[in-house]
Amino acid sequence: MFGNLLAGIRARWPEFEHETRRRAVRGGIVAGAAFLILALTGAASLSLVVTFAVALALYVPAWNRLPRGRWVVVIGVILIAVLYPFYQANMFEMPLFGGFPSVDTGVTMLIFIMMALGLNIVVGYAGLLDLGYVAFYAMGAYTAAWFASQHFSGKNVHFGSVGVNPAAPGIHISIWPVLFIAAIFTGVVGVIIGFPTLRLRGDYLAIVTLGFGEIMPQVARNGDNLFGQNLTNGPQGINPIDPPGFGDTLNNATGLPADYLTFNTTFLGHDVSSVELFFWTALVLVLFTVFCSVRLRDSRIGRAWIAIREDETAAAAMGVPLMRTKTWAYAAGAFFGGIAGAYYASFKSGTFPDDFFFNISIFILCMVILGGMGNIWGVILGGGFLAYLNQEGLGNIGGWLNRHFSGASTSSDKWFTIWPHDIDVPLYQFGIFGVILVLVMLFKPEGLIPSERRKAEFREGVADEPFYDVQH
Amino acid sequence: MPDLLTAEGVRKEFGGLVAVNDVDFTIPERSIVSLIGPNGAGKTTFFNMLTGVYKPTAGKIIFDSGNITGKPPHAITERGIGRTFQNIRLFQNMTAVENTLVGMHSRLSGGIVRSVLRTPGLKREEQDARKRALELLQYSGLRGRNEEYARNLPYGDQRRLEVARALATQPKLLLLDEPTAGMNPQETGEFISFVSRLREEKGLTILLIEHDMRVVMGGSDRVTVLDYGEKIAEGTPQEVQRDERVIEAYLGSGALAG
């Protein structure tokens, strides 16, 4: 086994060396320029040097040319993410963007990455434009609220609940089964919604899913009296939702944290408390989603999805059942949306109808498009970046701009006045995302990191003429 | 020989236009049957009804002693009708092997959960499928182009890949829609002998659509001629060639007088 690997490396070495040289030049130029800019704008520090060293170590050697080499990059990225809470505070300040995102923002970023990966199955793999993905997110969140809060105060069900009095009314089930319940529930709802809608194609499908995305928050908002039942507690939303945790029994047996909210310890000279736990858990969920996405993409089902995206008529003629296969894509996407929603509700300890407005669907779709439809690395990048901008980036950018250019600025960093008063940049978030989307569509329509296939499709289009009167 | 496919009174109307008018049609097992007719005669419409792309307005289609009238395309493929398209419809941005593997869809079993878990059984199934796909590509004459994207293949190879993909569905009946369109006479000759080989070696029954009469005269056991959606002649190539109505349809009524 090990000997094989060595032999494999030796066989591919010339190719590896050649590609590495090429990348060394390219990476060297880009990194050098970036380093200079950052260093000159006052970011010069040990952390800057280390960051560049790590980035170059992952990029320059052509790892993917070696047998099992791509694992080097995957494991490297996972390590960078896992260790993030420990070095986040020591990172350098970027110009314009300010400091690195806080761990708290990191949790939100990871949750949105997970949703973007789920939507990527629907949009990126199967090519079904879904403008109502937020519906699944909401469904996951409300599932968590139903099964882990005092909402159904008439009931008194406890199962591995954490951080609640055993006598407390309501259904209190541990977060882990709840995540699973939410995933299955939203997956099933995905099938139910998909069944009538997936007969439609292209624009028509988009319009119907848009409708679902609009209906969902209204149902949540008015769900405090749904045929006499209070399902969603209306505009107030449902809170608090029980925190995640493994409970005392598992804590004693395995040392896993009993309750995320009360957890506190020191590790590697760094305080580890609830937000770090939320971060790592989200990371595990993202890795799970990535794992499933990759496996699905490379399977019989994944091939069928791509075939449908390329040419529905030909796919059907080759024995791919269109309805069933599309519904599976929908269900798989909904599954991950549900988990993300439930986890987000648990992280925020509440769920509110205002969190599920239509713009979130578009926001998640932007992540997929910006990153590169169908490409997992791309979607992770797009999801992380847009969630970061939304959560903290735009605020930082606004602060930076106002400090340097606002007439109201009293900072010593002030350069010159362009506008008289401070501008609230996050207020224009959707305008800014819109501009980003337009720019991406103009200059790199296949996304920042496109998949090979998608690149070709954008250049040459897909040949897909509609069926006329097919019964699925 | 028993009939593999029987169409009884098959009719298709698009609004007021009758594209196929009450056509009766049979394909005996292990035969090569051709459906010819001038452009716009309703050949492809008829073909699309056999494969489920269109639902017949009236009539009945029996395949392999089962009624397939109005069944969806994937179900018909699963029962054993494989097809190619008149204007090549490969999955352009998938490789040759992937195209062929999509053709095997209905013969493989991997579902969504097993795909995520990648069970040993599924892994074996995928490996076998891949092996079979490579064999099919080689059989169809696409050696050494397995990992090439379909869009990068030259025209002739794209036609071959369409056949390989159709063979991957493990059909009993193979429908070829103008497979020689755009080929030169030599390529056409090679293709026709490839079709006879398919019958000899794989035991397939083949239905060929052509508008060029010369192509089908050599290879087919029986020829059916459509014109304006109606069957105007049926028989051996020699019989059909002499049929007055066929000559009229192809050359116009003036040809007879002259």
Same domain, B105 and B75: no
B85 within domain boundaries: no
Distance CA A113, CA A115 (A): 5
> Do the chains contact at A456 and B90, CB–CB below 8 Å?
no
The C-alpha angle A20, A25, A31, rounded to 5 degrees, equals 110
**Are A247 and A174 contacting, i.e. CB atoms less than 8 angstroms apart?**
yes
Same domain, A89 and A65: no
CA distances from B163 to A371, B84, B89 (A): 37, 6, 11
On whether any CB of chain A is under 8 Å from the CB of B53, the answer is: yes
Distance CA A97, CA A37 (A): 14
> Do the chains contact at B72 and A301, CB–CB below 8 Å?
no
Distance CA A163, CA A244 (A): 9
B76 within domain boundaries: yes
CA distances from B257 to A119, B37, B248, B253, B254 (A): 68, 21, 10, 7, 5
Same domain, B165 and B175: no
Between residues 112 and 151 of chain B, which touch chain A (CB distance below 8 Å)? 112, 115-118, 122, 126, 149, 151
**With bands split at pLDDT 50, 70 and 90, how would you rate the model's confidence at A70?**
confident
What is residue A472's predicted lDDT score, i.e. its pLDDT? Answer: 37
Question: Mean pLDDT of all residues in chain A?
Answer: 86
Same domain, A68 and A149: no
Q: Which of B250, B256, B255, B254 is nearest to B36 (CA)?
A: B250
A178 within domain boundaries: yes
- Better-scored residue on pLDDT, A275 or A410: A275
> Quick one: tokens of B190?
């090679």
What is residue B252's predicted lDDT score, i.e. its pLDDT? Answer: 66
> Quick one: tokens of B56?
């017949």
Asked whether the predicted pLDDT for residue B110 surpasses 60, the reply is: yes
The number of C-beta contacts closer than 8 angstroms across A and B is 130
Best probe of the A interface among B94, B115, B163, by most A CBs < 10 A, is B115
**With bands split at pLDDT 50, 70 and 90, how would you rate the model's confidence at A308?**
very high
Same domain, B35 and B70: yes
- Better-scored residue on pLDDT, B213 or A336: A336
Tokens 């009236």: give the residue.
Answer: B58
Residues of A in contact with B54 (CB under 8 A): 468-470
Domain count, chain A: 2
Segment A312-327 shows an average pLDDT of 92
Same domain, A63 and A94: no
A447 within domain boundaries: yes
Asked whether the predicted pLDDT for residue A39 surpasses 90, the reply is: no
Domain final position from B169, B195, B229? B169
Nearest CA in chain B to A458: B93
Same domain, A328 and A245: yes
A20 within domain boundaries: yes
Instruction: Tally Cβ neighbours within 10 Å of residue B254.
Output: 8
Segment A284-313 shows an average pLDDT of 94
B162 within domain boundaries: yes
Same domain, B155 and B216: no
Interface of chain A toward chain B, CB-CB under 8 angstroms: 291-292, 295-296, 299-304, 306-307, 310-311, 313-322, 328, 331-332, 452-454, 456-457, 460, 462-463, 467-472
User: Which range among A215-224, A330-339, B74-83 shows the weakest confidence by mean pLDDT?
Assistant: A215-224
Instruction: Give the whole-number percent of chain A exceeding pLDDT 70.
Output: 96
Calculate the CA A466 to chain-centre distance: 33
- Better-scored residue on pLDDT, A156 or B55: B55
Residues of A in contact with B107 (CB under 8 A): 319
B136 within domain boundaries: yes
Distance CA A141, CA A149 (A): 12
Distance CA B193, CA A96 (A): 69
Same domain, B101 and B69: no
Same domain, A18 and A101: no
Q: Which of A34-43, A69-78, B181-190 has the highest mean pLDDT?
A: A69-78
> Do the chains contact at B101 and A471, CB–CB below 8 Å?
no
Give the domain extent around B127: 91-169
pTM of the model: 0.90
Asked whether the predicted pLDDT for residue A471 surpasses 50, the reply is: no
Q: How many CA atoms lie within 13 A of B80 on its CB side?
A: 15
Tokens 């260790």: give the residue.
Answer: A83
Best probe of the B interface among A125, A188, A300, A325, by most B CBs < 10 A, is A300
A471 within domain boundaries: no
Domain count, chain B: 2
Distance CA A263, CA A252 (A): 14
**Are B142 and B117 contacting, i.e. CB atoms less than 8 angstroms apart?**
no
CA distances from A151 to A238, A444, B194 (A): 7, 47, 71
> Quick one: tokens of A311?
């040419």
Same domain, A251 and A188: yes
Same domain, A142 and A278: yes
**With bands split at pLDDT 50, 70 and 90, how would you rate the model's confidence at A186?**
very high
Domain final position from B169, B191, B225? B169
Spatial neighbors of A53 by CB under 8 A, at least 6 apart, are none
Residue length of chain B:
258
> Quick one: tokens of B142?
């696409």
Q: How many CA atoms lie within 13 A of B131 on its CB side?
A: 6
Question: H or E stretch including B157?
Answer: helix B155-168
Above 0.85 for ipTM, yes or no? yes
**With bands split at pLDDT 50, 70 and 90, how would you rate the model's confidence at A144?**
very high
B59 within domain boundaries: yes
> Do the chains contact at B55 and A470, CB–CB below 8 Å?
yes
Q: How many CA atoms lie within 13 A of A238 on its CB side?
A: 31
Residues of A in contact with B163 (CB under 8 A): none
Domain final position from A32, A52, A82? A82
A270 within domain boundaries: yes
Instruction: Tally Cβ neighbours within 10 Å of residue A163.
Output: 16
Segment A387-398 shows an average pLDDT of 90
Q: Which of A309-313, A334-338, A402-406 has the highest mean pLDDT?
A: A334-338
Residues of B in contact with A454 (CB under 8 A): 93
What is residue A89's predicted lDDT score, i.e. its pLDDT? Answer: 86
What is residue A410's predicted lDDT score, i.e. its pLDDT? Answer: 79
Spatial neighbors of A21 by CB under 8 A, at least 6 apart, are none
User: Which range among A305-309, A384-388, A396-400 shows the weakest confidence by mean pLDDT?
Assistant: A396-400
What is residue A468's predicted lDDT score, i.e. its pLDDT? Answer: 42
Residue length of chain A:
472
Asked whether the predicted pLDDT for residue A43 surpasses 80, the reply is: no
Chain B: nearest CA to A206, how far in angstroms? 23
B86 within domain boundaries: no
B194 within domain boundaries: yes
Same domain, A151 and A71: no
- Better-scored residue on pLDDT, A97 or B213: A97
Same domain, A43 and A89: no
User: Which range among A370-374, A467-471, B110-114, B195-199 shows the weakest confidence by mean pLDDT?
Assistant: A467-471
**Are B76 and B113 contacting, i.e. CB atoms less than 8 angstroms apart?**
no
Asked whether the predicted pLDDT for residue A394 surpasses 60, the reply is: yes
Spatial neighbors of B60 by CB under 8 A, at least 6 apart, are B7, B8, B9, B10, B67, B69
**With bands split at pLDDT 50, 70 and 90, how would you rate the model's confidence at A466?**
very low
Segment B34-58 shows an average pLDDT of 89
Chain A: nearest CA to B110, how far in angstroms? 6
> Do the chains contact at B74 and A320, CB–CB below 8 Å?
yes
Same domain, B76 and B100: no
Same domain, B152 and B97: yes
Same domain, B179 and B252: yes
Strand order in the sheet with B81-83: B81-83, B173-177, B205-210, B32-36, B222-227, B230-235
Residues of B in contact with A468 (CB under 8 A): 53-54
Same domain, A68 and A89: no
Same domain, A107 and A213: yes
Segment B139-145 shows an average pLDDT of 86
Asked whether the predicted pLDDT for residue A44 surpasses 90, the reply is: no
**With bands split at pLDDT 50, 70 and 90, how would you rate the model's confidence at A469?**
very low
User: Which range among A92-96, A187-191, B214-218 shows the weakest confidence by mean pLDDT?
Assistant: B214-218
Instruction: Give the whole-number percent of chain B exceeding pLDDT 90.
Output: 49
Burial classification of residue A47, based on how many CB atoms lie within 10 Å of its CB (0-12 exposed, 13-18 middle, 19 or more buried)? middle
What is residue A3's predicted lDDT score, i.e. its pLDDT? Answer: 78
Tokens 């224009």: give the residue.
Answer: A428
A153 within domain boundaries: yes
Asked whether the predicted pLDDT for residue B257 surpasses 70, the reply is: no
On whether any CB of chain A is under 8 Å from the CB of B73, the answer is: yes
Distance CA A404, CA A411 (A): 8
Same domain, B235 and B254: yes
Same domain, B42 and B25: yes
Distance CA A444, CA A376 (A): 17
Chain B: nearest CA to A39, how far in angstroms? 44
Domain final position from A30, A62, A82? A82
Distance CA A306, CA A299 (A): 11
Three-state DSSP state, B209: strand
Question: Mean pLDDT of all residues in chain B?
Answer: 89
Q: What is Dmax (Cα atoms) for chain A?
A: 72
Asked whether the predicted pLDDT for residue B192 surpasses 70, the reply is: yes
Question: H or E stretch including B232?
Answer: strand B230-235
Segment B110-121 shows an average pLDDT of 88
Give the domain extent around A21: 1-82
- Better-scored residue on pLDDT, B180 or A382: A382
Distance CA B192, CA B196 (A): 6
Domain final position from A82, A102, A119? A82
Same domain, B255 and B178: yes
What is residue B125's predicted lDDT score, i.e. its pLDDT? Answer: 93
H-state helical runs in A350-470? 358-371, 376-388, 394-405, 429-443, 452-460
Same domain, B5 and B71: yes
The C-alpha angle B194, B241, B223, rounded to 5 degrees, equals 50
Residues of A in contact with B168 (CB under 8 A): 318
Quick: pLDDT tens for B201-236: 999 999 998 877 777 777 788 999 888 889 988 988
DSSP calls for A68-126? TTHHHHHHHHHHHHHTHHHHGGGPPPBTTTBSPPPHHHHHHHHHHHHHHHHHHIIIIIS
**Are A340 and A140 contacting, i.e. CB atoms less than 8 angstroms apart?**
yes
What is residue A304's predicted lDDT score, i.e. its pLDDT? Answer: 95
Segment A304-328 shows an average pLDDT of 92
DSSP calls for B40-70? TSSHHHHHHHHTTSS--SEEEEEETTEE-TT
Domain final position from B118, B153, B169? B169
Same domain, A60 and A109: no
What is residue A13's predicted lDDT score, i.e. its pLDDT? Answer: 86
